[in-house]
C-alpha cells in the first residue's frame, strides 16, 4: 500500500531538516554517501534564504511500505504551491516549534489541509530548546484546530515529540530518544490510503510543472484512478472540461529518494511525473480518451499585490545582461505564470511593460532575482495592492500581522503600525520578557515596513504576515517621509564629493560606483528631493599647502536587498535590476521632465 503525505509548517519550524533525517534513516542514502544539509532545498535561492520556495516530492520505503513525501513551502507568499500539493496527499505531518507555537503560516497551511479533509499528525519539534513550552504549545495547537472548524475525527490527532535536527522522535517525552521509527510507525498506522478503482479508465491531476534540460516539460501529479502504461493514448482536460491536447505517455517516472526513476506503469494512488506533453499545465487532468469530466481542483487564492516590470531604459542598459527586449521578458513571465499558479501576468496598454501579480513582496522578489540571475535586465516599479470593487465601494486586502518583540520595543511598534492603519487585536506575554502583538493592517501599509521594524526592534523582533480578507478602503496612508539624493551627472562617484555631501543624508553608493543623471544615490535628511554632484573632485593647484591633507573618513553606505529596494521606492521611482547591479533611479531621468511630471500629478 502507498501512503502520500505532505509536511506542512510555519517558516523555519524544521520541515526540511526533519525530512533530511527521514531520508537517511529509511536507507535512501548509502552509509558512506556524503549529503549536505536540507537536501530537498535544491534551488540556489532556497539555500541562500534558508526557506523552501518550491514544493518537491520524494519517496521512502519503511517495512516494505512506500511513503511518498511532499515538502511544502511554509511562507504564505508561496501558498499556491501548498494548495496544489495537498490535493495529492492522504495525510499531513504538521510541525510546530516547541517554543514559538502555532504561527500565522501554521494557521494558513493547516486551514488548507483541514479544508481538504486531511487528518494531521502533529509533531512538536525542537523540544530540546531551552525556552520550549511544550504543554502550552499543545493547548495552542488544539485551540487552533477548533478555531479552524476541524471535525471530531481531525481533532483526534496523534502527537509526537521530536528534534528533527538530531533525528529522533518519541510518542512520550519519557521514551528513549534514538531514531525516527515512532514517526514512520505512526504514519503507517494513522494515514489511511484511499480506496482506488484500478479497473476504471486512467485519470491523474497535474499539480506541479517544471522544466528539464533533457526531458522538457515535466508534469507531476497523483493518479486518481486506473493504471497508466507507457505508450497508452491520453488526452488533457482543462478545469472547464475543454480538451487541451491529445498524445501518448512516452515517459513515466516515479520518485525514489531524491531521484526520478523511469517506470513502465503506474497505478492509482501513485505520485508520478510525465514528460512529453506540450500544452498541459497545472490543474489540468490527464486522462484516458473515453473520460469526459476533469478531476476537480482547489481554486487558488488570487494575487493581492502587483509590480510593473519593463525593459531597462537607463544609460547603462545592455552593459551587463544578455536578455534585454520586452519580447524575451514577456516570454519568460508567461512561462513563469504557467508553472506558478499564484502569479498573474498582464500586458499594459503600451505593450512594453507587464503587470505581474503575486501574493507578496517576497514572492515577487524571488521571481525578479531569478530572472536577474538568468541574464535579464529589468526596470521594476513600486509594489501596489490590487483593490476590488463591490457595490460601488473600494475594498483592499488586509493582512493578519503577528509580531514577537522584547517588551521595551512594543510601544514604538504599536505606534508605527497605527500610522499604517493597523488595528491591534491582541497583546500577550510570550515568555522570556517578550510580547506577542496581533494586528490587522492593510497590505499597502505594510509595504516597506520590514526594514523599519528591524531597526525599531534592534534586529531582535520577528514579524509574520498572512492574508486575512478584503475590507473597505481604510483611507490615505503617509508614505516615505524623506526625499532622495539624485545624481546630476554620469560617471564614477568620487570619495571627496561623497565626503562633502555626507551631512545631506544617508548615501547608497561608495566611491568609484558608476552613477548617471537621475540615479538615486542616497536618502535626503529632509522631505524634499535634492540633486547633487557626486563626481566633483578636489581642485588641484600647483601651490604647496602648508599642511598635509586630512584623511577623508566616509560613513559606510546603506546597502539594501532587492526586496528592500522595491519596497523603498516611491511611485515616481524604479529599481534597475541587472545581473551584476541593482540601482535606484527616478522614472524620469531628465530633471525638466521630472518637474513637468510632478506638476501634472499635483493638478490631478
Per-residue burial over 79-111, b = 16 or more CB atoms within 10 Å of its CB, e = otherwise: bbbbbbbbbbbbbbbbbbbbbbbbbbbbbbbbb
> Which pLDDT value is given to residue 328?
93
**Domains held by the chain: number:** 4
The annotation status of 4 as a binding-site residue, yes or no, is no
Is 248 within 8 Å of 231 (Cβ atoms)?
A: yes
In a domain, 423, yes or no: yes
Domain end: 287, 310, 329, which one? 287
* pLDDT number for residue 550: 58
Report the CATH number that the domain containing residue 245 is assigned in CATH. 2.40.30.10
Separation CA 392–CA 372 (nearest Å)? 40
Which residues constitute the domain of residue 227?
203-287
Same domain, 180 and 233: no
Distance CA 125, CA 180 (A): 12
- CATH number for the domain that contains residue 417: 3.30.70.240
Nearest CA among 4, 581, 46 for reference residue 320? 581
Give 217-244 as a DSSP string. Answer: EEEEEEEEESEEETT-EEEEE-TTS-EE
Regarding whether 511 and 399 lie in a shared domain, the answer is no
**Residue 511 φ then ψ, to 5°:** -55, 145
Are residues 239 and 159 located together in one domain of the fold?
Answer: no
Q: Is the same domain home to 427 and 505? A: no
| CATH code at position 104 | 3.40.50.300
Can you give the pLDDT at residue 349?
A: 79
User: Domain end: 444, 472, 500, which one?
Assistant: 472
Residue 366 placed within a domain = no
Domain-located, residue 300: no
Let me know whether 157 and 11 are in one domain.
yes
Query: What CATH number corresponds to the domain at position 567?
Result: 2.40.50.250
The answer as to whether 438 is a domain residue is: yes
Task: Answer yes or no: do 146 and 229 share one domain.
Answer: no
For residues 346 and 337, the answer to whether their CB atoms sit within 8 Å is no
pLDDT score at 360 = 76
CA 116/CA 138 separation, integer angstroms:
23
pLDDT at residue 47 in the model? 45
One domain for residues 139 and 211: no
52 is in an annotated binding site: no
- Please indicate if the annotation marks 111 as binding a ligand: no
- 283 and 412 both lie in a single domain: no
The three grid cell numbers given for residue 597, joined into one nine-digit string: 511630471
127 is in an annotated binding site: yes
Whether residue 14 is annotated as binding a ligand: the answer is yes
128 is in an annotated binding site: yes
Residue stretches of the chain with pLDDT short of 50: 29-43, 46-47, 49-54, 77, 547-548
Is residue 308 situated within a structural domain? no
Shared-domain flag, residues 70 and 140: yes
Same domain, 175 and 234: no
Task: From 243, 269, 287, give the residue that closes a domain.
Answer: 287
pLDDT of residue 540: 62
Residue 271 lies in a domain: yes
Taking the C-alpha atoms of residue 8 and residue 6, their distance in angstroms, rounded to an integer, is 6
Phi/psi at 103 (5° precision): -120, 175
| Per-residue model confidence (pLDDT) at position 602 | 66
Grid cell locating 311: 525593459
- Cβ neighbours of 318 (radius 10 Å): 12
- On whether both 104 and 210 belong to a single domain, the answer is no
Q: Say if 358 falls within a structural domain.
A: no
Measure the CA–CA gap between 203 and 197, rounded to whole angstroms.
11
Q: Is residue 124 within 8 Å of residue 92, measured between CB atoms?
A: no
Q: What is the pLDDT of residue 49?
A: 47
Give the pLDDT of residue 36. Answer: 41
Residues in the chain: 604
170 in the same domain as 61: yes
Establish if 307 belongs to a structural domain: no
On whether 595 is known to bind a ligand per the annotation, the reply is no
Instruction: For residues 527 and 544, give the distance between their C-alpha atoms in angstroms, rounded to a whole number.
Output: 42
What does the alpha-carbon distance between residue 145 and residue 138 come to, in Å, rounded to a whole number?
A: 11
Q: Which residues pair with 410 in a beta bridge?
A: none
Set of cell numbers at residue 441: 493592517
Q: Residue 323 has which C-alpha cell?
A: 536578455
Amino acid at each position: 500500500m502507498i501512503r502520500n503525505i505532505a509536511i506542512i509548517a510555519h517558516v523555519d519550524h524544521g520541515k526540511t531538516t526533519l525530512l533530511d533525517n527521514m531520508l537517511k534513516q529509511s536507507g535512501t542514502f548509502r552509509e558512506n554517501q556524503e549529503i549536505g544539509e536540507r537536501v530537498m532545498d535544491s534551488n540556489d535561492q532556497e539555500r541562500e534564504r534558508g526557506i523552501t520556495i518550491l514544493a518537491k516530492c520524494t519517496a521512502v520505503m519503511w517495512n516494505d511500505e512506500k511513503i511518498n513525501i511532499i515538502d511544502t513551502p511554509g511562507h504564505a507568499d508561496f501558498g499556491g504551491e501548498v494548495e496544489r500539493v495537498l490535493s495529492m496527499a492522504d495525510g499531513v505531518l504538521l510541525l510546530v516549534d516547541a517554543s514559538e507555537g502555532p504561527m500565522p503560516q501554521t494557521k494558513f497551511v493547516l486551514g488548507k489541509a483541514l479544508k481538504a479533509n486531511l487528518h494531521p499528525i502533529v509533531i512538536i519539534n525542537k523540544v530540546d530548546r531551552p525556552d520550549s513550552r511544550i504543554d502550552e504549545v499543545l493547548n495552542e495547537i488544539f485551540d487552533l484546530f477548533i478555531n479552524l472548524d476541524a471535525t471530531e475525527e481531525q481533532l483526534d490527532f496523534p502527537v509526537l515529540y521530536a528534534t528533527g535536527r538530531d533525528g529522533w522522535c518519541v510518542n512520550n517525552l519519557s521514551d528513549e530518544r534514538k531514531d525516527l521509527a515512532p514517526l514512520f510507525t505512526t504514519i503507517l498506522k494513522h494515514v489511511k490510503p484511499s480506496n482506488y478503482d484500478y479497473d476504471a479508465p486512467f485519470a491523474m491531476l497535474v499539480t506541479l510543472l517544471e522544466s528539464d534540460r533533457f526531458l522538457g516539460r515535466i508534469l507531476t501529479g497523483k493518479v486518481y484512478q486506473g493504471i497508466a502504461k507507457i505508450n497508452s493514448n491520453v488526452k488533457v482536460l482543462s478545469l472547464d472540461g475543454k480538451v487541451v491536447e491529445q498524445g501518448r505517455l512516452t515517459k513515466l517516472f516515479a520518485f525514489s529518494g531524491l531521484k526520478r526513476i523511469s517506470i513502465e506503469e503506474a497505478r492509482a494512488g501513485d505520485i508520478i511525473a510525465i514528460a512529453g506533453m506540450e500544452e498541459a499545465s497545472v490543474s489540468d487532468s490527464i486522462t484516458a480518451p473515453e473520460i469526459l469530466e476533469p478531476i476537480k481542483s482547489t481554486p487558488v487564492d488570487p494575487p493581492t499585490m502587483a509590480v510593473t516590470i519593463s525593459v531597462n531604459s537607463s544609460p547603462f542598459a545592455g552593459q551587463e545582461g544578455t536578455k534585454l527586449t520586452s519580447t524575451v521578458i514577456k516570454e519568460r513571465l508567461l512561462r513563469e505564470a504557467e508553472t506558478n499558479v499564484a502569479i498573474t501576468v498582464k500586458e499594459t496598454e503600451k505593450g512594453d511593460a507587464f503587470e505581474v501579480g503575486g501574493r507578496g513582496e517576497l514572492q515577487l522578489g524571488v521571481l525578479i532575482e531569478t530572472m536577474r540571475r538568468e541574464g535579464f535586465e529589468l526596470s521594476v516599479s513600486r509594489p501596489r495592492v490590487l483593490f476590488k470593487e463591490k457595490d460601488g465601494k473600494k475594498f483592499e486586502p488586509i493582512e493578519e500581522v503577528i509580531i514577537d518583540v522584547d517588551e521595551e520595543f512594543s510601544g514604538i511598534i504599536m505606534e508605527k503600525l497605527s500610522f499604517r492603519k493597523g488595528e491591534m487585536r491582541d497583546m500577550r506575554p510570550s515568555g522570556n520578557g517578550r510580547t506577542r502583538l496581533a494586528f490587522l493592517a492593510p497590505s499597502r501599509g505594510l509595504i516597506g515596513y520590514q526594514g523599519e521594524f528591524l531597526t525599531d526592534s534592534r534586529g531582535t523582533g520577528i514579524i509574520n504576515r498572512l492574508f486575512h480578507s478584503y475590507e473597505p478602503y481604510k483611507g490615505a496612508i503617509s508614505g516615505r517621509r524623506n526625499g532622495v539624493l539624485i545624481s546630476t551627472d554620469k560617471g564614477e562617484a568620487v570619495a571627496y564629493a561623497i565626503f562633502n555631501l555626507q551631512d545631506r543624508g544617508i548615501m547608497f553608493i561608495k566611491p568609484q560606483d558608476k552613477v548617471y543623471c537621475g540615479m538615486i544615490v542616497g536618502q535626503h535628511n529632509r522631505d524634499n528631493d535634492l540633486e547633487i554632484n557626486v563626481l566633483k573632485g578636489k581642485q588641484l593647484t600647483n601651490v604647496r599647502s602648508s599642511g598635509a591633507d586630512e584623511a577623508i573618513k566616509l560613513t559606510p553606505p546603506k546597502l539594501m536587498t532587492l526586496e528592500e529596494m522595491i519596497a523603498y521606492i516611491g511611485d515616481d521611482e524604479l529599481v534597475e535590476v541587472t545581473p551584476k547591479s541593482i540601482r535606484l533611479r527616478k522614472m524620469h531621468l531628465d530633471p525638466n521632465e521630472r518637474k513637468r511630471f510632478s506638476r501634472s500629478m499635483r493638478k490631478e
